[in-house]
Amino acid sequence: MNRYLLTSSLAVALFIVFLPVIPVAHASIVEEDVLGQSVSPKLMIRNESQPLVPDELFGAKGGYFHPFVSVTASFSDNIYNSNNKTSDWLMTYSPGIWLAVPASKDIILNLSTNNTSPGGHFQAINKVKRFSRYQTYAMYVADITDYNSHSDRDNAKQSVEGFFQVNLRSGLSIDMFDKFTDSQDPLGITGSTVAEEFKSNLFGVIADYDLTEKFSLRADYTNFDLNYDDVANEWRDRTDNSIAAYLYYKYTEKTSVFFSI
């Protein structure tokens, strides 16, 4: 589908925060497609001081809490993604909430999912070890699309993800994550002009252990569960369980070699 975003005079992006007590900076989370073929969401940071939730709420380091909403106007010349092109204007409303403890604006793991890929993700989940003892965050984001003249194409997509990391003094680091998606496949992929809605959930655990300054071990486990709403698509439902193990050798500060099974 070819979609043209309007110029700044027509495209509208509103960031509204309702926090009567706690001031927050403006930020937005963009997820280009909440469905399986999505690009990883990125928290867009502006040059403003990072606000903290009061220390007594989350402890000495505080937390970061930010509701947000964006509104985008756009135009598509082929809303059904078919040979018989039909054009229309549409509005997309994207509300969401971001919560992190300790305070952070960074999404650590790329949890983009893909329904057709084994394990539910088309690329490896890269682990990033934080310097703090622990880090946790949760994010909810939705895309509610309203077409001007074709209400049959109106739709709502949403996802929620959570992450927790703990780094022990022994050199062991553990990540746990979960992402739930309620969305639909893009029109045109299967030839159908009717949206094929689905729900998916990706759960995983990553553990790595520093054996020495040069060698480290890593083990991954993920569970991907996919269920389509329409009974006619039940044959596409599945559950994938994936296990992987790695041995890393740190050759230089910028170069590492690994073996995987």
**Tens digits of residue pLDDT in 108-126:** 888 989 998 999 987 778 8
pLDDT digits (tens, 9 = 90+) for 8-35: 333 333 333 333 333 333 333 333 344 3
Domain with 188, as residue range(s), is 3-260
Instruction: Report pLDDT for 43.
Output: 40
Q: Do residues 76 and 67 touch, judged by C-beta distance below 8 A?
A: no
pLDDT tens digits, 117-151: 999 987 778 887 767 889 999 999 999 999 999 99
pLDDT category, 191, cuts 50, 70, 90?
low
Determine which of 36-40, 162-166, 173-177, 223-227 has the lowest per-residue pLDDT on average.
36-40
Q: What is the mean pLDDT of residues 100-105?
A: 90
Q: How far apart are CA 116 and CA 37, in angstroms?
A: 9
What pLDDT score was predicted for residue 45? 35
pTM above 0.85, yes or no: no
Summarised one tens digit per residue, pLDDT across range 60-73 is: 456 899 999 999 99
Question: Cα separation of 126 and 220, whole Å?
Answer: 11
- Residue 93 reports pLDDT greater than 70: yes
* Domain total in the chain: 1
**Residue 36 pLDDT:** 37
For residue 102, cis peptide bond before it (omega within 30 degrees of 0): yes
